[in-house]
Amino acid sequence: MSKGSAIISILIAFVAGLAIGNLIGHSGGGDESELATIAVDEGGSRGADNAAPAPGAANNAPADGETVRLRAEVPEGAPQRGPSDALVTIVMWSDYQCPFCSRVEPTLARLVQEHGNNLRVVWRDNPLPFHQNAGPAAQAAREAYDQGGNEKFWAMHDLLFENQGSLERADLERYAGQLNLNMAQFRAALDNNEHQAAIQADLAAATALGARGTPNFFINGVNLRGAQPYEAFDQAVRAELANAQRMVQAGTPRAQVYASLMRNARTSPPPEPAAPAADARPAQPQPDPAAIYRVPVGESPVKGPANALVTIVAFSEFQCPFCARVEPTLTQIQERFGNDVRFVFKHNPLPFHQNAMPAAEAAVEVQTQLGDEAFWTYHDTLFEHQQELSRENLEQWAQALPRINMARFRAALDGHTHQARIQADQDLARSLGASGTPSFFINGRNLRGAQPFPAFEAVINEEMARARQQLASGTARGGLYEALIANGATSPQMLPGAAAPAPAEPAEPPPDQVYEIAVPRNAPTRGPANAPVTIQLFSDFQCPFCGRIGPTLDQVAERYPTQVRIVWRNYPLPFHQNAMPAAEAAAEVFAQGGSTKFWAYHNLLFENQRDLSRENLERFAQQVGGIDMNRFRAALDNHTHQAAVQADMQAVTAAGARIGTPSSFINGRLLQGAQPFPAFEAAINRALEE
C-alpha cells in the first residue's frame, strides 16, 4: 500500500469510527477545515463550564449547577511546567501539527507567568490521525524528555510549534541537533517507535474522558475545550485556585490537593441529558473596547512625527510568530496613513521564547547607541530572521550598523544592562491587562493580537476623528497624544457580563440539503462548461487545509475529465491577514490571463503559502509570465477585485450555509473540509446518478 493510500485509509476509518462531526462541534481543530467563526485574538472560543468548582460525585448525571470534574490523571514521568504541589493543575491533550494548539500556546505561557508556583501544566499527546507529522513529532518530543527531562522536552515542544509547517523527519533531527541530544539514540527511538505505547496510553485516556479533539484542557479536572481566549482560562484557573486555597485552609496538605480532587472526580463524562434546557453562558466581564488607557511613550523607540493624530503603542517581542505576522499590517498602516500615525515599540519578551530577551536587550542597546532610526532597522532584521536569533547573529547584525561600538554592545548583553528597562515595559503591559503579544494601544485604545488591517483601520479612523475634536478644542498638536490619554485608565477596564444564550454549535446540514449558489459567469474553472457535475470550491490561499485539498482535486480532474467542472470561489478568513491580498492578486491574474494563468498562479500561492507578502505576490505574477505588472500593481493598490471576492463570500451567506475552508458544493451539496478522494468520488457519483 502506498503512503498516500495508507493515509486515506486511516482517514476513512477515523471518520467512520469517531464521528468527526463531533470534533467540529467541540474543539478548535477537529476537522480538516478552518472555521470562519474562530476569534482572531488568541484562538477560537467554545462553550466551557466555568462555574464555581465543587468536588465531583459519582459517574451519573450531574445535579443542576454542579461542576463536572473528570479524573485527568498525571502519569508518572509526564512532562510538566510548574511544581508538583501546585494548587491548580492543567492537564492538556494537544497535537504539534494542529494550528489551534499552536494558537493557545501564548495563552498558556501567560498563565504560567501570571500564576507562578500555583500553576502546573502537564502535557499529554493526542496526535490526530489526519495530521501525518503529528505522531513523529510527539515521539521526538518524548525522546527529548527521556534524554533531558522537562528542560529538553519544553525546548523541543517550543521548536515544534514555532516550526509547525516543518515537521518532516529531517526537521525533527535538525531540532534534536539544536538541543544537543544524542543523535544515535534519537534516531533509534524514532525508527523503533519506542514511545508509541506511551502516546497510545495518552490517546486512550483522552477517549475515556471524551476529549477527542485538540486542544483539550482539564483544569483541576474541569474541562475547557479549544483555543479559548486568555480570559476564559484565567477565570477557570482563579476559580480553581480559590477552591484549592479553601481546601488547604481546611487541612488538606498542599501537595495532596490535586490527588484529593481526583479521588472524587468522574472517570468518564456524564451522560447527555435527554432534553437539555436552553443553554446560557454565565455572565462574564469582557474588556471594554472603548476604554482609553494611559500608555506613556517614555524612552521607547518611535517612528513617525511627535504631532501625529494617532499614536500606536505596540507591546511586542522578536521571537513571537504572531508579532511577526502583524508586521506587514503595520507597514500597510504606515503606507495608508503616512504622517498621521506614529508607532511606538515596547518590549514584552515572553518567558518561553528563550531568544526573545537577548534580542530585546540587543535592540535596546542599538537604540541607546544609535537612536530610533537604527533601532527600527535592527527591528526589521530581527523579524526577518526570527528563527535565527542566536548571540552570534545578534552581534553580526549589529556590526552591520554604521558607527556601532561592538565592545559596548557585547558588554550590554553580557551584563544585562537593559533588563530593568525591558522589565518596566513588561510591568506596564501587565498592569494594563495586555500581557500577551502582540498587543496594541491606539491613542490608548487596546487592540489585541495579530489583527487584520480592517480591524486597525476602523479604530484608527475613529481615533483620528477624536484627535481632530481635541485640536478643535484648543489643544496644541504637539501635546495631542498626552491630552488624549491624560485621563486614561491604568488598570484593565471591563464591561459587566450579561447572561445571554450561548451560540449554537455549527450543526451538520442534512445530507440531502442542496444549496442554491449560482455559478458566476466569469470565474476560474477546470473542466468543460457543460459538465453534468459542478464543484464550487470555496477556499483561502493562507488556509493550511486548503493547500492539502489540491492533490485530491487533481485526482478528481483525472478521474472525471469530461464529467466534472471545478469552479474557484474566494473565501479568505478574517484572521489570515494575507488571504485577502492573495485572493485579489489571483483575481487580477485571472482577469489578465484567464483560467490557465489563474491555476498556475493558484499553485504558486499554495506552494509558498507561508510567504504571501506583497513582494512575493508580485514575484509570483512575474513567474507566471504574460502579466502586465503595472496593471497588476494598480489592481492591488486600488483593491479592484475586493468587491468580487466579497461577493463570493456573500453568496454562501445568502444560501444559508455555514462553512469553514475549504468547502466544496457538489451540484449544491456541501462537502466540508479537506476530505480524501473517496469522499469526493462518492458525492460525484451520486450527483451523476441523479
Q: Give per-residue pLDDT as tens, 391-425.
A: 999 999 999 999 999 999 999 999 999 999 999 99
Instruction: Report the CATH number of the 38-268 domain.
Output: 3.40.30.10
Is the predicted pLDDT of residue 377 greater than 80, yes or no? yes
Q: What pLDDT is stored for residue 166 in this prediction?
A: 87
pLDDT average, residue stretch 231-251: 92
Interval 633-644: pLDDT, tens: 999 998 899 888
Q: Of the candidates 228, 230, 231, which has an alpha carbon nearest to the alpha carbon of residue 109?
A: 230
User: One fold for both 38-268 and 302-485?
Assistant: yes
Q: Three cell numbers at 414?
A: 553580557
3-state SS assignment for residue 535: strand
- The b/e string for 147-164 (b: 16+ C-beta within 10 A; e otherwise) is bbebebbbbbbbbbbbbb
Q: What pLDDT is stored for residue 27 in this prediction?
A: 29
Q: Of the candidates 109, 100, 44, 90, which has an alpha carbon nearest to the alpha carbon of residue 348?
A: 109
Q: Three cell numbers at 425?
A: 515595559
- 680 Cβ neighbours under 8 A, 6+ residues apart: 535, 552, 553, 555, 556, 664, 666, 671
Q: What pLDDT is stored for residue 688 in this prediction?
A: 93
Do 346 and 314 meet the contact criterion of CB atoms below 8 Å apart?
yes
Which is it for strands 80-81 and 119-125: parallel, antiparallel or unpaired?
Answer: antiparallel
Give the architecture (CATH level 2) of 302-485: 3-Layer(aba) Sandwich (3.40)
Give the residue, 155 or 676, on which the prediction is more confident: 155
Q: Compute how many other C-beta atoms are within 10 angstroms of the C-beta atom of residue 523.
A: 17
Strand ranges (DSSP E) for 571-633?
none
Give the residue, 278 or 581, on which the prediction is more confident: 581
pLDDT band at 551 (very low <50, low <70, confident <90, very high): confident
Distance of CA 571 to the CA centre of its chain: 18
Q: What pLDDT is stored for residue 510 in this prediction?
A: 56
Q: In sequence order, what DSSP letters do the residues of 657-671 get, joined into one string?
A: ---EESEEEETTEEE
Do 409 and 398 meet the contact criterion of CB atoms below 8 Å apart?
yes
Contacts 24+ apart (CB under 8 A), 640-644: 640/584, 640/587, 640/588, 641/583, 641/584, 641/587, 641/588, 641/591, 642/580, 642/584, 644/570, 644/587
3-state SS assignment for residue 64: coil
Interval 274-312: pLDDT, tens: 444 444 445 556 677 789 999 999 999 999 999 999 999
Do 590 and 524 meet the contact criterion of CB atoms below 8 Å apart?
yes
**130-144, 488-502, 584-598, 640-654: range with lowest mean pLDDT:** 488-502
Q: What pLDDT is stored for residue 58 in this prediction?
A: 36
Interval 40-76: pLDDT, tens: 222 322 222 222 233 333 345 455 456 789 999 999 8
Interval 2-38: pLDDT, tens: 334 333 333 333 333 333 333 333 323 334 455 443 3
3-state SS assignment for residue 567: strand
**Ranges 203-207, 273-277, 485-489, 507-511, most confident:** 485-489
Question: How far is 144 from 152, CA to CA, in rounded Å?
Answer: 5
pLDDT average, residue stretch 606-630: 93
Q: What pLDDT is stored for residue 33 in this prediction?
A: 52
**90-104, 601-615, 650-664: range with lowest mean pLDDT:** 650-664
Is the predicted pLDDT of residue 373 greater than 90, yes or no? yes
pLDDT average, residue stretch 602-615: 91
Give me the percent of the chain exceeding a pLDDT of 70. 85
Domains of the chain, residue spans: 38-268, 302-485, 525-689
Q: What are phi and psi of 432, to 5 degrees?
A: -95, 0
Do 617 and 636 meet the contact criterion of CB atoms below 8 Å apart?
yes
* Peptide bond between residue 662 and the one before it cis (omega within 30 degrees of 0): yes
Q: What pLDDT is stored for residue 489 in this prediction?
A: 93
Q: What pLDDT is stored for residue 32 in this prediction?
A: 46
Is the predicted pLDDT of residue 464 greater than 50, yes or no? yes
pLDDT average, residue stretch 598-615: 91
pLDDT average, residue stretch 422-432: 92
Q: Three cell numbers at 465?
A: 476623528
Do 72 and 209 meet the contact criterion of CB atoms below 8 Å apart?
yes
Question: How far is 460 from 338, CA to CA, in rounded Å?
Answer: 12
Q: What pLDDT is stored for residue 62 in this prediction?
A: 54
Query: Alpha helix (H) ranges present in 65-217?
Result: 99-115, 134-162, 169-178, 183-191, 196-208
Q: Three cell numbers at 662?
A: 475549504
Do 33 and 660 meet the contact criterion of CB atoms below 8 Å apart?
yes
Fold of 525-689: Glutaredoxin (3.40.30)
Interval 145-166: pLDDT, tens: 999 999 999 999 999 998 888 8
- 366 Cβ neighbours under 8 A, 6+ residues apart: 374, 375, 378, 398, 401, 404, 409
For 672, the enclosing helix (H) or strand (E) is strand 669-672
Average pLDDT, the chain: 84
Question: How far is 99 from 416, CA to CA, in rounded Å?
Answer: 35
Question: How far is 473 from 615, CA to CA, in rounded Å?
Answer: 43
Q: Three cell numbers at 413?
A: 548583553
Strand ranges (DSSP E) for 562-654?
564-570
Question: How far is 436 from 369, CA to CA, in rounded Å?
Answer: 29
Q: What pLDDT is stored for residue 3 in this prediction?
A: 38
Q: Three cell numbers at 398?
A: 549589529
Q: What pLDDT is stored for residue 536 in this prediction?
A: 96
Is the predicted pLDDT of residue 572 greater than 60, yes or no? yes
Q: What pLDDT is stored for residue 102 in this prediction?
A: 85
Q: What are phi and psi of 662, to 5 degrees?
A: -80, 155
Do 574 and 452 meet the contact criterion of CB atoms below 8 Å apart?
yes
pLDDT average, residue stretch 120-133: 87
Interval 323-369: pLDDT, tens: 988 999 999 999 999 999 999 999 999 876 889 999 999 999 999 99
**Ranges 59-73, 224-238, 507-521, most confident:** 224-238
What dihedral angle (degrees, nearest 10) is formed by the CA atoms of 165, 170, 171, 172? 120
Exposed (0-12), middle (13-18) or buried (19+): which is 88, by Cβ within 10 Å?
Answer: buried
Question: How far is 279 from 110, CA to CA, in rounded Å?
Answer: 30
Residue 389 identity:
L
Q: What pLDDT is stored for residue 289 in this prediction?
A: 78
Question: How far is 132 from 168, CA to CA, in rounded Å?
Answer: 9
